[in-house]
Amino acid sequence: MELPFAESYRIKMIEPIRRSTRAEREQWIKEAKYNLFNLKSEYVFVDLLTDSGTGAMSDRQWSEMMLGDESYAGASSFFKFKDAIREIMGFEYVLPTHQGRAAENVLFSVLIKEGDLVPGNSHFDTTKGHIEYRKAKAVDCTIDEAFDTTLVHPFKGNVDLGKLEKVLKENGNKVSFIVLTITCNSSGGQPVSIENMKGVRKLADEYGKKIVMDSARFAENAYFIKMREEGYGSKSIREIVLEMFSYADAVTMSAKKDAIVNIGGFIAMRDKELYNSASVFEIMYEGYLTYGGLAGRDLSAIAQGLHEATEFDYLETRVKQVEYLGNKLLGFGIPIQQPIGGHAIFVDAKRFLPQVKKEECIAQTLAIHLYIEAGIRGVEIGSILADRDPVTRENRYPELELMRLAIPRRVYTNNHMDLIAVALKNIWDKRNTIRTGFRIVREAPIMRHFTVELEKV
Ligand code: F0G
């Protein structure tokens, strides 16, 4: 018999979680105004709100925490951090930041001016936010295949080189740089291929532009390249990572994902001039150059985490757990984004609940039902998140209404995955009884999803 797959780690420390009753959950979600962000975490049994900062650190990372050097300037922790980034990602200059969006804030303060264009592949919300805040525009050049959840394509994070070239040709003088998000969160944790990175690099060189990689889940991207791209099967993850970043001029990183820490981020770059310019904003917004909003112990844990996250065994365990859940759901006939991505399952709520009107928050309705069914907290990526048009103030209804189930790293077992799958199947089996959704009764002028209040229709 072929041996079944098993995790490449064992558990040394546990954190109890509490089961609740359906009646309790109905009460709690009502009190939370049907907004899952308003729930106390103790009311949640399996928390899939995000894979960001929710991972379990290893014994070695906790050891590094104890070795943290808390000197204000020149701490040994900073040099461990800098060396890890140089060795693994190949960049000479580094600035630590408190998280990913802070890296965007510092770097974009140098690179973006009013009226600029920043083409890329489905920019993440905070990336887009930091572009738009500077009165510039994020231009989405993702391949069209990414928006059809049923279509299987190995690299749905890819940039459509035709779309990118059009932007460069028509408005090249306005383009500040190109963003490549690896893996692409907004399109479902989908990877970008090396071939595509080479194509983007070629265009960038032709038009004299920089490439910034938004690298939150870069190791998962490298894993998919190894598994799916011709010519990369026998390369190590580290070799692939170095090749990926050889096509970038700079990276912004949320270490809360693929450095498996609870807080942290950084900017890494090749160019000393860029580093010098960014250093000014670093000191203003984040802190001195060798700590940037983090404790020394955080820098040490990131350095160790980067080594662990780029080991094949870790990545295989990680991605296979997400696949395990996805395949269970597919087996039940539940519509999800395919192929299964690196960090999360994206359930296609429009195909799950076609009878619910678009004005009634389709993906949020599904997420509320899943919480009531089993205490599982997912997140809406649909019309609530899409918000209103800033000019017309009309509600925007995106092409896709998704419920994201993000899997924290090294936290849950496959028994939890089984529970999630069956809970969702129970809703799938009674989906025809869900005729109506929820309406918004209170919302903030921007980023409304965090604080929105809803009622039953
Ligand atoms: N880039 C990507 C692709 C992300 O997914 C995130 C965060 C960021 C940048 C910003 O990083 O949170 O450290 O400031 N994504 C989280 C999520 C919040 O749930 O997907 P941050």
Can 138 be counted among the known catalytic residues? no
Q: Which domain holds residue 361?
A: 22-51+312-456
Instruction: Give the per-residue pLDDT at 149.
Output: 85
Write the residue with the smallest CA distance to atom 12 of ligand 1. Answer: 100
Instruction: Give 255-308 pLDDT, tens digit per residue.
Output: 999 999 999 999 999 999 999 999 999 999 999 999 999 999 999 999 999 999
Binding site membership of 47 for ligand 1 (Cβ less than 6 Å): no
Which structure tokens are listed for 277?
Answer: 């310019």
Q: Are residues 322 and 297 in the same domain?
A: no
**Is residue 9 assigned to a domain?**
no
Which pTM does this prediction carry?
Answer: 0.96
Helix (H) or strand (E) holding 106: helix 100-111
Instruction: Give the per-residue pLDDT at 390.
Output: 76
**Is residue 7 assigned to a domain?**
no
Instruction: Give the per-residue pLDDT at 156.
Output: 95
**Is residue 150 assigned to a domain?**
yes
Ranges assigned E (strand) in 176-274: 177-181, 210-214, 250-254, 265-269
Write the residue with the smallest CA distance to atom 21 of ligand 1. Answer: 100
Which one from 209, 226, 350, 449 is the annotated catalytic residue? 449
- Calpha distance 401→380 (Å, rounded): 8
Q: What angle in degrees, to the nearest 10, is found between the helix axes of 312-331 and 296-309?
A: 70
Q: Token pair 């459509």 is at which residue?
A: 160
Instruction: Give the per-residue pLDDT at 365.
Output: 98
Q: Are residues 113 and 181 in the same domain?
A: yes
Contacts of the segment 278-281: beta carbons below 8 A, 24+ positions apart: 278/95, 278/106, 278/107, 278/109, 278/110, 279/95, 281/105, 281/106, 281/109, 281/110
Q: How many Cα atoms occupy the beta-carbon half-sphere of 417 within 13 Å?
A: 22
Helix (H) or strand (E) holding 455: strand 453-456
Q: Are residues 301 and 401 in the same domain?
A: no
Q: Are residues 265 and 201 in the same domain?
A: yes
Q: Provide the pairing of β-strand 265-269 with 93-97.
A: antiparallel
Q: Are residues 386 and 246 in the same domain?
A: no
Last residue of a domain, which of 309, 342, 377? 309
Distance from CA of residue 389 to its chain's centroid?
A: 24
**Is residue 218 assigned to a domain?**
yes
**Is residue 158 assigned to a domain?**
yes
Q: Are residues 149 and 180 in the same domain?
A: yes
> Measured from the CA of 184, which atom of ligand 1 is nearest?
3
Residues 6+ apart with CB under 8 A from 400: 147, 149, 348, 350, 381, 382
**Is residue 10 assigned to a domain?**
no
- Calpha distance 375→351 (Å, rounded): 23
Which structure tokens are listed for 347?
Answer: 């359930």
Q: Are residues 291 and 380 in the same domain?
A: no
Q: Are residues 209 and 108 in the same domain?
A: yes
Considering only CA atoms, give the Rg of the chain: 22
**206 phi/psi in degrees, rounded to 5:** -60, -40
Q: What is the DSSP string of 308-335?
A: HHTSHHHHHHHHHHHHHHHHHHHHTT--
Last residue of a domain, which of 288, 309, 330? 309
Q: Are residues 448 and 327 in the same domain?
A: yes
Most ligand 1 atoms within 8 A of CB, residue of 121, 185, 262 to mutate: 185
Closest CA to 222 of 270, 268, 259, 183: 183
Which one from 72, 133, 397, 450 is the annotated catalytic residue? 72
Last residue of a domain, which of 309, 338, 361? 309
CATH of the domain at 348: 3.90.1150.10
**Is residue 278 assigned to a domain?**
yes
Residues 6+ apart with CB under 8 A from 37: 49, 449, 450, 451
Which structure tokens are listed for 399?
Answer: 């092409």
Can 257 be counted among the known catalytic residues? yes
Where residue 183 falls (left for φ over 0; alpha for ψ -120 to 50; beta otherwise) is: beta
- Calpha distance 439→77 (Å, rounded): 49
CATH of the domain at 115: 3.40.640.10
Contacts of the segment 6-12: beta carbons below 8 A, 24+ positions apart: 7/317, 8/313, 8/314, 8/316, 8/317, 9/58, 9/314, 9/317, 9/410, 12/59
Q: 180 CA distance to ligand 1 centroid (A)?
A: 14
**218 phi/psi in degrees, rounded to 5:** -65, -35
Instruction: Give the per-residue pLDDT at 147.
Output: 86
Q: 131 CA distance to ligand 1 centroid (A)?
A: 15
Regions of the chain with pLDDT less than 50? none
How many helices (H) and strands (E) in the chain? 16, 14
Say how many domains are in the chain: 2
Binding site membership of 124 for ligand 1 (Cβ less than 6 Å): yes
Residues 6+ apart with CB under 8 A from 337: 149, 187, 188, 190, 345, 346, 348, 402
Binding site membership of 215 for ligand 1 (Cβ less than 6 Å): no
Instruction: Give the per-residue pLDDT at 447.
Output: 82
Other beta carbons within 10 angstroms of residue 426's beta carbon come to: 15
Binding site membership of 265 for ligand 1 (Cβ less than 6 Å): yes
Give the ranges where 173-217 is alpha helix by DSSP (H): 194-207
Q: Are residues 188 and 333 in the same domain?
A: no
Can 343 be counted among the known catalytic residues? no
Instruction: Give the per-residue pLDDT at 150.
Output: 87
- Calpha distance 322→343 (Å, rounded): 7
Q: 400 CA distance to ligand 1 centroid (A)?
A: 20
Instruction: Give the per-residue pLDDT at 391.
Output: 80
Binding site membership of 52 for ligand 1 (Cβ less than 6 Å): yes
- Percent helix / strand / coil, the chain, rounded to 5: 45, 15, 40
Q: Are residues 305 and 316 in the same domain?
A: no
Can 258 be counted among the known catalytic residues? no
Binding site membership of 256 for ligand 1 (Cβ less than 6 Å): yes
Can 214 be counted among the known catalytic residues? yes
Distance from CA of residue 286 to its chain's centroid?
A: 22
Q: Are residues 279 and 337 in the same domain?
A: no
**Is residue 1 assigned to a domain?**
no
